[in-house]
Amino acid sequence: MKSILIIGMGRFGSYTARRLYEQGHEVMGVDLQAEMVERAMPFLTNGQIGDSTDPAFLKSLGPGNFDVCIVAIGDDFKSSLVTTTLLKEMGVKHVVAEASEDVHEFLLKRMGADDIIYPHKQLGEWAAVRYGSDHVTDFFKLGDDVAVYEMEVPDKWVGRTIGELDIRRRFGISIIGIRGILPVFPKGAKPRTEVMIMPEMTLRKNMTLLVLGDDAKIQRCFK
């Protein structure tokens, strides 16, 4: 369990707080507007109303005692920059800041932010990949060029085994998981993710594949 301070209870901040709270973490939420804090209280361990650019107020929260501080003030970059700077000056171990432009990332990192999150940019990239492809159902980046894609099994692969397809040698990518009912499971078993991938596994129409590799190679394989 971690203790996490989230400054900014807008959509991104409040949703992040909810998910962290559901995972069992202690979450303090802070916002300048009382109604934003009140709305988020059902999934906050503690809530505070105040201006995070005010050093006295910010210090009163004891930010150095938190494992992670998330600055989710995406609609006010000046306040985000000041808050990030103050948190690092107060000895916060890990500061994550929200950005909406590349220049924001540059400046936030100069002020000491340890990680940068682009909610709108990342969602836009996900939507472009998800809805711009016939086979992709989900994906997430592992780096600039490497990602894990969840793909539907192409029609021409149905009925063939992993060994027959040999996509690692042919395309330079790897199947790291299969979601769906596999032949080795008892009849009526619920769909699950199998990560012990064997060459003799036969692909079926109701499965999806978790594929790891370079973006360009994955796109070429599943084009």
Cα 32 to Cα 34: distance, rounded to the nearest angstrom: 7
Could you tell me if 200 and 162 are in contact, meaning their C-beta atoms sit under 8 angstroms apart? yes
Domains assigned to the chain:
3-117 (3.40.50.720), 123-222 (3.30.70.1450)
Burial degree of 26 (CB within 10 A; 0-12, 13-18, 19+): middle
pTM for the structure as a whole? 0.67
Which of 97, 99, 48, 43 has the alpha carbon at shortest distance from 68? 97
Q: Kindly write down the DSSP assignment for every residue of 59-104, as one continuous string.
A: HHT-GGGSSEEEE--TT-HHHHHHHHHHHHHTT-S-EEEE-SSHHH
3-state class (DSSP) for residue 19: helix
b/e per residue 184-193 (b: at least 16 CB within 10 A): eeeeeeeeee
| pLDDT by 10s per residue, the chain, length 223 | 899 999 999 988 999 999 999 999 999 999 999 999 999 999 999 999 999 999 999 999 999 999 999 999 977 889 999 999 999 999 998 999 988 777 887 888 888 899 988 877 766 776 766 666 667 778 777 766 788 888 888 888 999 999 999 888 888 989 988 887 555 555 555 567 888 888 888 898 888 899 898 878 887 787 6
Which of 131, 116, 135, 143 has the alpha carbon at shortest distance from 209? 135
Which of 117, 139, 144 has the alpha carbon at shortest distance from 129? 139
Burial degree of 60 (CB within 10 A; 0-12, 13-18, 19+): exposed
Q: Which two tokens stand for residue 145?
A: 């060029």
